[in-house]
Structure 1
């Protein structure tokens, strides 16, 4: 494996010194945010001979990368296309994805010793199952090319001037300044505020008169309220492979009952397409028709109780919970037409109307963001502000669960690097 072990000493410099001023005077751009987009932008800029500095509020780069996928980092999806993304302009991401493809992502990481292994539905993880290896690739390249990452730097303002931009930030309790002809906003979205998420990108956008589309938590667990909640609590920890659908889309993956409601991959996926007050449908047995199975079993063993029959398809815990709705102690031969209708409705048409979601604290990403009409799809530069770029999660491009959002981050970082 390619050796990436040398440590990068992230800067905690006094920008007021003459040495620091001279070192920063030749910047091509200032990147705000050392997440996936910002790091890729810095690296790709380095390949082009461009000098950048990254300002990062956390005490280390790649904070969300490090916790993604349970610390394993699902860094792309082999089947990613623009159709796997939600945006008010569904075509906006096409240009970025044509400039930086999934194959480009795979080749990039392979060059630095990161081999991928495919998991469910095209999800690609490093064979080491360690997100630290992904971050180490970027920090090592930045170190090798002299791209500086200033951690624990809290940016206060971005100001436009005749020569470009002045960025004001605090470092070690002191107010510091950096100037450059270009600025890249790659500060992410609102999810996981404990990891440093803020609305900084939106403040900058509004400062320059740019529009923001409505934002909401996405890829987020959903809550159940009222009398139904107790039933869900009883099933906490139960996972069932299901098809979850609304009138716009459907997903086939596991759902997970929790003490507050529903989670699991299929629920996280549908949450990005769900709005308060809506309901959606769950098919708890998408691989067949429950009535056909019952009829088949009736032919050979009509005396079998419904509960015993269902035990073959679902966990005992789930079957026992169905006693509220179905005649579990009735044998298959004695099931009435109404009984069969109830069984079909519950198994194939289980309707859920969530009370809400778990919010940005538990959301993996954000839906909405910087209005794509405000940006060039080819360069991601703000149309109203020359030299100002936005990339990654803060833009109104939201991917499905399974590595898609990282692919957008890498692609947008690459595109911006070509144009700063």
Structure 2
């Protein structure tokens, strides 16, 4: 038994855990199903990797126990993430809303930080490893297959960091959820999150005609509100604001879109009437939207009418359409297109201070498989780094 712990999953959480364990003089082995580590890191942000967010707190996360991550975030802060990556040559360039991307580097460089450190500290990463079984006795025994051979590893501690269900083609599996269920741990219902929403039925053609149009909006439901771009597609809605609200949306619910969040269309009309009431409504709207989008609004608005001639009812209709545009999505694009998974292993099953299972001593769960889901913009990576660090202190 040469290892202090076996880590199943060499994604963000598993890699950080291995490196931090190495700093403490602990030896671990990582088993990764894919042919290389960090598969999801490599595709994040279009290969640029938004690796944390300057504004990350526990408030940007969805969980059945929203206070659960406070302990982990005290132990490993955003500043810790920034300092860690800067130590190894990754400096952050801030983009929209506090998102940090590697300045002049990319996702490959982020993964290389971990693989290089693992190599230096003799933390073994075994890729192409399919875990066949895990047995718990006095120690943990993991049987896996790699390169056509079946092998066995033993260690006193086990870390499950296999991620969630999104993007099956990247190797995503339900291993963590199955393992947890098998050992009596409760699972909070899972669903795709940070995922595009679909529109079907009578409204489908209207949305499809706008495919490619992007509009800065405020998107709201009874749980949350986000101001960012939405993107119209041939099957529905995407873009940052839609991905954000999708994590709070349930099938059958409406969402409301303010198509002009930084202005009041009634005030704009009053001002324009005083200036020149002889312009058409379409001319006014073209100041804010593409011509194609304005034309599409003609389904709801009298675009050819002069703004001086708009009736009270038409003014009210304009306000409703621009500031309270109601959409009822049919569904979402599923795990193939989702960035993360909502739900997962119930946080009540884990110690918030160590992330150790209360029912399985010596077994730890971190990253996306836990019922902790962050907003779009580097938050989920911050949770992965923090949970990996916390677990490393205790294995």
TM-score by length of 1: 0.94
Paired with 2:335 and 2:104, the residues of 1 have a C-alpha distance of 29
Q: Deviations over 1:344-383 (max 9, x none)?
A: 0000000010000000000000000000010000000000
Paired with 2:113 and 2:350, the residues of 1 have a C-alpha distance of 29
In structure 2, the residue matched to 1:374 is: 349
- Which residue of 354, 359, 363 corresponds with 2:329? 354
Q: How does 1:218-297 map to 2 (within 5 A)?
A: 218-297=193-272
**Secondary structure of residue in 2 paired with 1:139:** helix
Whether 1:327 and 2:282 are equivalent positions in the alignment is: no
Q: Which runs of 4+ in 1 moved over 4 A?
A: none
Q: Deviations over 1:310-343 (max 9, x none)?
A: 1111110100111111000000100000110110
Paired with 1:88 and 1:298, the residues of 2 have a C-alpha distance of 51
**Secondary structure of residue in 2 paired with 1:419:** coil
Deviation at 1:107, TM superposition (A): 0.1
Q: Measured at CA, do residues 58 and 398 of structure 1 come closer, stay the same or move farther in structure 2, by a change above 3 Å?
A: same
Matched-pair contact (CA < 8 Å) for 1:54–1:148: yes
In structure 2, the residue matched to 1:150 is: 126
In structure 1, the residue matched to 2:368 is: 393
**Secondary structure of residue in 1 paired with 2:284:** helix
Deviation at 1:207, TM superposition (A): 1.6
Whether 1:132 and 2:108 are equivalent positions in the alignment is: yes
Paired with 2:195 and 2:155, the residues of 1 have a C-alpha distance of 38
TM-score by length of 2: 0.99
Whether 1:213 and 2:188 are equivalent positions in the alignment is: yes
Q: Deviations over 1:34-54 (max 9, x none)?
A: 000000000000000000000
Segments of 5+ residues of structure 1 without an aligned counterpart are 1-24
Matched-pair contact (CA < 8 Å) for 1:73–1:129: no
In structure 2, the residue matched to 1:342 is: 317
In structure 2, the residue matched to 1:62 is: 38
Deviation at 1:129, TM superposition (A): 4.1
Segments of 5+ residues of structure 2 without an aligned counterpart are none
Matched-pair contact (CA < 8 Å) for 1:71–1:129: no
- Which residue of 144, 148, 172 corresponds with 2:147? 172
Paired with 2:84 and 2:228, the residues of 1 have a C-alpha distance of 30
- Over the aligned positions, Cα root-mean-square deviation in angstroms equals 0.5
Paired with 1:385 and 1:361, the residues of 2 have a C-alpha distance of 32
Deviation at 1:179, TM superposition (A): 0.3
